[in-house]
Structure 1
């Protein structure tokens, strides 16, 4: 009872005191009380918090109180490093003014600048261009004033340079390193150990679990924010993602055939043996190219691998032989500075060799394998069909876990997400958004368009409808697509001139978003990442257009594999997987429009399946109650005239 009263007091008295414009939200307080009860009673919880509830403080304050009472560290995990940073810079400082506590934000070790690696890369001539040496010096100076976290560096760092200056766990000397006392990573780890609240991301969480729970300090209580992306993070972590360029970069650390630089020049080899190695690496690079060409057959942009590959290329055998030879040289080395660099390369090549063998042999029956092409890059990929088994094992290691997001349910039902994550026993609750959608918004469904399966006509009519809505809204429009192909086709057909048109892919996403926010008459055509995680409050986003219901592309390899698997189990994939997945993504897209109580706007849906098909009601039932809906363009005109 005392804890409950203390928590209520924080929201009703203390928050208004430090935040003059704070408005108490009943849903926020009720959510905080529920979380406090679940933490005290060690009950797992799924809690959906609608936009505007104040979700972060609703879980953060009871979590801090619980950690203090139990004298244990508590952890918050969110989907991306960007969201991690938002939490640290926006919400945690507010919480600290109410309850002083120590916190730290943890990132994977590869995100930290390593002075020793940077020095070794310079010493052994690994920097290939003058600009790399210049940027290295700039990073050195910058890191001394900061915490060495490379994602905070104000300029873009190319993968080729990053691979020569970041921490590599395989070549780290730890306490034996002359830079140990000033090491940014180990300084950060010390802060992690001292923290009462540790903020991580989902990918790092899975890395921690994969290292037998030794990567991070001990904890048994965790809140997963943006929990609807937890499966995606697990799939990405436990899958394969190899590329021809990545393999070339690794081999170029040993010796770059163009620049004539690399570790090979510093190995204890005679001139004749060095020449032998150079010829060997030249042959290996040719084999690498042949290997990827043979797999991809020089056709299509993506292809699923259904049976083990019988390849003429000997690249994997040659890579294995080269690595064994390198290991023998390493065992004879005496240079204590060079040895860690060579050992790190050996470990990296060994891991790539292992993944190549798994890919070629389809080593995991529970995964799907495919390749895809992006320009000159060819990627070999795999993904587990399900993470249910591993999630059950992982979550059993924690006393209590809480999953929260604005979108966890399909028409008010948590079972789809819970089943995908292997959750069986849990409390559940929904706290709807406090926004007045009846006054703030309007849903317009344009049933004048043909069904999306009439592709050519649908694309043409989409462009016309978008032109009409942009004109009515006077720009200020975000248009969401389900594929880059459709986005490009529609963009080409739309009338340009009166308003600035921005398109995903023309420049980095954060720059596009900044321009869209600053130019309140601009229109942004986007797909993929723009369906979720972006926040554009105010006039800049007054009209949101969803061009198609966001069903996954059926021939996307993992989706195809999941569908086959469900059919083998006697389940109907559309109703049990594809539809609920699309509904959650649709809700995420819809949520981009109304971000605060002052926002007003129209959501235009150009896919009439939402009202013409028997499954459309699930999309509509998953939207806020009292949301006005029309299929007539005139109320849209009237809505914007009233603004």
Structure 2
């Protein structure tokens, strides 16, 4: 193996040495023979001021480097240190390029040796990590990293990380290492040298095969966990609450009895045993998950029938399996099996991956993803892509590898027994509890060969999203990128993609003279051009309809006069697709009906073409639905961002009342359905929730179980009395005024604050107003849609900085669980009414008007009250939390409906205050 490594980290005044940024700290850790043998660290005077941001980030101030040497004074020591070693860093291109600039500036030769990037290496060897920042990896590996963003601490942690990653590499089987080595030449650092040395080391001694791994057809992967058949045991539900409490306390001595949780258990037990449906609102802190899982397991074991639990978010789905199920297994006096079941596309197709490995692929993202999957196969027993941390390019490559279920007669299926989705189905068939998500639940209910029992027992958590999920599942989407991806995969006869391979198969079998190929090529070319023109035209129209920046959602009505050209283009596209689909079907039929047997590779190509054919058929149906024959009972809209005109357009159609159709056809046939959430009640009634699902006349048990938290002791609500009415100002004017109150609150709370908006436009205006003012320069500001990264990444970053403020929109109003002092102040900028021109809102309001009802009181107000309750729920997550809610919309005091919002949340103290008084009260309370 490489014997000497120099692990380097730099702290700098900025990101660009070309623009004059300089090094302020250098640290190097020397590793020889897998041991840290030397360390060197020095502060460096940059010859320029260190900004407040860098000082806050690194802890290195102008005072720190006041008497430090210039780089010229230490350049020789550094050049000597790195000479002849492999240069290692966490994001090696940054550190090395910075160091090269400084060395050359001081008259030294640049570094020409090998490099190793621990970010790249960690992505390969830790494919399931939440993130690849050094502090995240150090925490995962329990490494010493006491002072993040200081070079000596960072370099030492990176050295320890490298040693751990080398151990992990050495533990992989030689078979996997050889495949990694072949792919490693597409990487950016010399990972290949490290892998090659590992292979040589392992071959020098007899390899010890791990008992947890099996090998098959050139792949090494983890053995599946066979829980075996669970013996029937006594599983009588404990009707007596004292018995339940004793059972819970025996497993968890610190368990505190919560009457609401016990009530929920009893109600679900009764619903299942009597075959009734139920709706249960379960307030924060009652222990909702255990509240429904415990009676579900008892019922499943007693009656030998599985109970299906469906959630809206994958986050809750994973939480149930990883956190709550293990708790139950400690509590219950018998064994049970709970499994996770997702849609087929979530699972890796081993057959497709085997084929992909044989392809010669120099693309960086593809090679990296293949390497990640090779390592992941030695760890996973599910094959579920959500376990992996894929890049956006990796996600695109995954789309080629996901399970699709298509098979052909005569095609041997060597992977069938080990196929991850087939395994998931077999496990689910024996399970007591099947955990899934609303999306898969809806899809499965609509298929003939359903995996979920048609007449069974169902618990729907996060049930306030059921109507939205149902409508989405019964709708469809059409976007530029997905269709162009299909066309690129299909190609033309001279592009050596799937159509070329199809034609070669036909020619080789004497089934075509090749004349029709030219016509099909021309039709595909015409379709591609016309489709591009359609989306270019749509994006131009969208730009005219809305001049505001950022993402927008616009109602799409084909009969309003401005889409005449689009209709003509869509009609041509449907005709072109008709020809293309027919020709592809003919070619597939010729090959499949041919007497000569097809080879395995040919059958795989046909499989891929059939998948693409399905996408083309969906595209034809969508074009017909959007432009040629729209339905009155559906809602149509387009989502658009002017950052990428054609690429940024997505057309969506959904039924106005999809959930009613699903209930009548599928949910209503279940033996018992229990729906639960923390926010279902509006004005002390389930009427609104039932109406949205079309269940007004369905007999159901209902219960609203309040939170056990003493909110009056934990929360103060402040409403500024020196803000103008939000409806009297433009977005820019109100944002500027609101910014002053947000700044005052942030300073008083010392960060630890989340600000919730109802529109991206107002969020951007307010964020930039605060940022440009410079008043909060010592704070770290994160803004959804501006700062970059996923929702979960934003939340993690927010919690990692002490003086942080998070600006969020729709998705942060719920599902955010930040207990303790990390979130002590919540600001709601505007009461969460949906804009009246938002397509779904507009369509539902129009329908209510036709029915002679008031759209505001029947839809807009109840929706806003539920969203307000969800926002409030972000503040207090445990009985020890304490916080302040600031509402910048004075309509909560002045409007007729204001009291409805005040009554929507638990009883707390309300105060009206000036900006100065508000800041003082926040500081005093938290």
TM-score by length of 2: 0.66
Supply the distance in 2 between the matched residues of 1:383 and 1:92 (Cα, whole angstroms). 35
Task: State whether residues 522 and 540 of structure 1, in contact with CA within 8 Å, keep that contact through their aligned partners in structure 2.
Answer: no
Decide whether aligned partners of structure 1 residues 170 and 295 sit closer, same or farther in structure 2, where only a CA change above 3 A counts: farther
Relative contact order higher in (CA < 8 Å, ≥ 6 apart): 1
Equivalent residue number for residue 480 of structure 1: 756
**One of 334, 344, 348 as aligned partner of 1:109:** 344
State the secondary structure of the residue aligned to 2:691: helix
**One of 777, 798, 809 as aligned partner of 1:527:** 809
Task: State whether residues 11 and 24 of structure 1, in contact with CA within 8 Å, keep that contact through their aligned partners in structure 2.
Answer: no
**One of 373, 386, 411 as aligned partner of 2:683:** 411
State the secondary structure of the residue aligned to 1:252: helix
Task: State whether residues 482 and 548 of structure 1, in contact with CA within 8 Å, keep that contact through their aligned partners in structure 2.
Answer: yes
Supply the distance in 1 between the matched residues of 2:625 and 2:862 (Cα, whole angstroms). 32
Supply the distance in 2 between the matched residues of 1:202 and 1:221 (Cα, whole angstroms). 15
The farther-off stretch of 372-381 and 403-412 is 372-381
Equivalent residue number for residue 312 of structure 1: 568
Decide whether aligned partners of structure 1 residues 579 and 175 sit closer, same or farther in structure 2, where only a CA change above 3 A counts: farther
Equivalent residue number for residue 460 of structure 1: 736
How many residues are treated as equivalent by the alignment? 639
**One of 754, 779, 782 as aligned partner of 1:502:** 782
Supply the distance in 2 between the matched residues of 1:261 and 1:80 (Cα, whole angstroms). 41
Q: Does 1:628 align with 2:912?
A: no
State the secondary structure of the residue aligned to 1:381: strand
Supply the distance in 2 between the matched residues of 1:128 and 1:344 (Cα, whole angstroms). 25
Deviations 1:523-579, CA, capped at 9 Å, x for gaps: 101111100011000101000000001111111112111111110110110000010
Superposed counterparts of 1:179-578, under 5 Å? 179-212=415-448, 214-217=450-453, 220-255=456-491, 260-269=495-504, 277-300=520-543, 301-307=552-558, 310=564, 311-313=567-569, 314-333=572-591, 334=598, 335-374=602-641, 375-376=643-644, 377-387=648-658, 388-423=660-695, 424-453=698-727, 454-455=729-730, 456-494=732-770, 495-505=775-785, 506=787, 507-578=789-860
Task: State whether residues 74 and 197 of structure 1, in contact with CA within 8 Å, keep that contact through their aligned partners in structure 2.
Answer: yes
Equivalent residue number for residue 45 of structure 1: 278
Equivalent residue number for residue 895 of structure 2: 613
Task: State whether residues 75 and 198 of structure 1, in contact with CA within 8 Å, keep that contact through their aligned partners in structure 2.
Answer: yes
Q: Does 1:67 align with 2:339?
A: no
Supply the distance in 2 between the matched residues of 1:154 and 1:292 (Cα, whole angstroms). 32
Equivalent residue number for residue 591 of structure 1: 873
How far apart are residue 186 of structure 1 and its match?
0.3
**One of 77, 80, 99 as aligned partner of 2:310:** 77
State the secondary structure of the residue aligned to 1:593: coil
Q: Does 1:132 align with 2:386?
A: no
Supply the distance in 1 between the matched residues of 2:877 and 2:431 (Cα, whole angstroms). 32
Decide whether aligned partners of structure 1 residues 202 and 172 sit closer, same or farther in structure 2, where only a CA change above 3 A counts: farther
Deviations 1:582-606, CA, capped at 9 Å, x for gaps: 1001100100000001100001110
How far apart are residue 336 of structure 1 and its match?
2.0
Supply the distance in 2 between the matched residues of 1:174 and 1:547 (Cα, whole angstroms). 63
How far apart are residue 321 of structure 1 and its match?
1.1
Deviations 1:156-199, CA, capped at 9 Å, x for gaps: 35443122111124468899522111111101111111101000
Deviations 1:84-132, CA, capped at 9 Å, x for gaps: 001111111111222321111100000001122234456678x683431
Task: State whether residues 265 and 295 of structure 2, in contact with CA within 8 Å, keep that contact through their aligned partners in structure 1.
Answer: yes
State the secondary structure of the residue aligned to 2:630: coil
State the secondary structure of the residue aligned to 1:15: helix
Q: Does 1:637 align with 2:908?
A: no
Decide whether aligned partners of structure 1 residues 343 and 155 sit closer, same or farther in structure 2, where only a CA change above 3 A counts: closer
- CA-atom RMSD, angstroms? 2.4
How far apart are residue 332 of structure 1 and its match?
2.1
Decide whether aligned partners of structure 1 residues 275 and 142 sit closer, same or farther in structure 2, where only a CA change above 3 A counts: farther
Unaligned runs of 5+ in 2: 1-234, 508-513, 544-551, 592-597
Task: State whether residues 16 and 22 of structure 1, in contact with CA within 8 Å, keep that contact through their aligned partners in structure 2.
Answer: yes
Deviations 1:340-390, CA, capped at 9 Å, x for gaps: 111121122112211221111343321111222233221111111112233
How far apart are residue 45 of structure 1 and its match?
1.1
Task: State whether residues 304 and 557 of structure 1, in contact with CA within 8 Å, keep that contact through their aligned partners in structure 2.
Answer: yes
State the secondary structure of the residue aligned to 1:51: coil
Decide whether aligned partners of structure 1 residues 267 and 122 sit closer, same or farther in structure 2, where only a CA change above 3 A counts: farther
How far apart are residue 10 of structure 1 and its match?
5.6
The farther-off stretch of 552-561 and 335-344 is 335-344
Decide whether aligned partners of structure 1 residues 172 and 569 sit closer, same or farther in structure 2, where only a CA change above 3 A counts: farther
Decide whether aligned partners of structure 1 residues 395 and 101 sit closer, same or farther in structure 2, where only a CA change above 3 A counts: same
Decide whether aligned partners of structure 1 residues 187 and 635 sit closer, same or farther in structure 2, where only a CA change above 3 A counts: same
Supply the distance in 1 between the matched residues of 2:385 and 2:501 (Cα, whole angstroms). 28
Decide whether aligned partners of structure 1 residues 468 and 251 sit closer, same or farther in structure 2, where only a CA change above 3 A counts: same
The farther-off stretch of 577-586 and 376-385 is 376-385
Q: Which one has a bigger Cα radius of gyration?
A: 2
Task: State whether residues 883 and 925 of structure 2, in contact with CA within 8 Å, keep that contact through their aligned partners in structure 1.
Answer: no
